[in-house]
Structure 1
Amino acid sequence: MTATKQDQDVVDLLISQHNEIKDLFAEVKSTTGDDRERAFHRLVRLLAVHESAEELVVHPASRQHSSGAVADACMREEGDAKRELTNLYALGTDAPAFDEVFAEFERAVIAHATHEEQQEFPILRRNADPAKLRRMAGAVRAAEAVSPTRPHAGVGESAKTMMLAGPPMALFDRMRDAVRDWHKANEP
């Protein structure tokens, strides 16, 4: 682990990921064909693991330090995003409606990230000591390592559900990703 990763707290980690997500949205919009599809798959993967980790680590912690309304709203937004991302994934980047649906999805995801950054993250900063916030960053990284790589909207958003169903789904997703990538690399 680098010194930067050891010192990074959960809020800084998640804001960094939010910026990476915004960059991937821009890349998807600015590319076509196989480049667009690759960028979209990277975006899907990052969103899936990011949201799963937030559901397991961040929202339960913020719920401990507030009424839970902010965390509940974030969970609802993430559930909506999972359903929409599932639809986008099924639609495919070459579909005529992709750009319009993708633009609406981007607006919702950016609004969600802003909501977290302005409402949920300050709750954590005010109420959790810096050492706990650094440990939470480690917990987020660990959760992401075993999280599904695509959305599974029908599974539910609770931390308990993700703990039970997440690792088997993640294994299946990672196998599908490997086979998909192998086929792409070995097409004539």
Structure 2
Amino acid sequence: MTATREQDVVELLVDQHNQIRRLFSEMDGAQGDRKREVFEDLVRLLAIHETAEEEVVHPVAGRRIEGGQKIVEERLHEEDQAKHMLAELYDLGPDKPEFDVRFQALKNAVIQHAEREEQQEFSTLREKVDKDTLKRMADAVRAAEKTAPTRPHPRTPESAVGNILAGPPLAVFDRVRDKMRELVKSGKGNR
């Protein structure tokens, strides 16, 4: 990817999928504080990524690709399952003995989900949607990510409307919690 060329939505999301894969790989060898940091990065990226996909990409795919509604419903179901798994892991914490086995199940589910998105949804979007629209969709994904929650919220609906209604208040809560965690970690919140 060259810095002078603007990414379209497919390139942006595939890059994010690759970041997610790298974080999963990094988790395999991480321990202690590093394991917790990598897991928190992964949680944040997955939460933001899935919210943006649900708000921007899935609605377009559902309308523009043949059989799109069925494909989107399947991806939303997978995302809902992963959101529940991720929330349980987040509550459990990476230092618990059962974390690693459950984390491997999440890793397998998310990687399979990403592969299905890339093969069934993204490749068809590239064929059916013009380049300018794909670039505008990338801008819309970036905008959606700015107001997306940074943690999984399994009780929120898996839809664009659900995310638009519930996402911003949850995002404010999550981002305040993230800042407080950063303060405590830096020692500035302990005075």
TM-score range, shorter chain: over 0.9
Gaps of 5+ in 1: none
Q: Does 1:119 align with 2:120?
A: yes
Give, in whole Å, the separation in 2 of the partners of 1:46 and 1:81: 13
Task: Tell me the TM-score normalized by structure 2.
Answer: 0.94
Task: Tell me the residue number matched to 2:59.
Answer: 60
Deviation at 1:180, TM superposition (A): 1.1
Q: Does 1:166 align with 2:167?
A: yes
Deviation at 1:148, TM superposition (A): 0.1
Task: Tell me the TM-score normalized by structure 1.
Answer: 0.95
Q: Does 1:98 align with 2:99?
A: yes
Give, in whole Å, the separation in 2 of the partners of 1:29 and 1:94: 13
Give, in whole Å, the separation in 1 of the partners of 2:94 and 2:182: 16
Task: Tell me the residue number matched to 2:144.
Answer: 143
Identity %: 49
Give, in whole Å, the separation in 2 of the partners of 1:114 and 1:123: 13
Q: Does 1:153 align with 2:131?
A: no
Deviation at 1:163, TM superposition (A): 0.4
Q: Does 1:129 align with 2:130?
A: yes
- SS at 2:94's partner residue? coil
- What's the CA shift string for 1:104-154, capped at 9, x where partnerless? 100000000000011011221111000000000010011001100010000
Matches within 5 A, 1:31-110: 31-65=30-64, 66-67=66-67, 68-110=69-111
- What's the CA shift string for 1:51-83, capped at 9, x where partnerless? 000000000000011331111111110011100
RMSD value, Cα: 1.2
Deviation at 1:172, TM superposition (A): 0.5
The one-letter code sitting in structure 2 at the alignment partner of 1:172 is: F
* Structure 1 consecutive aligned stretches of length 4 or more whose deviation exceeds 2 Å: none
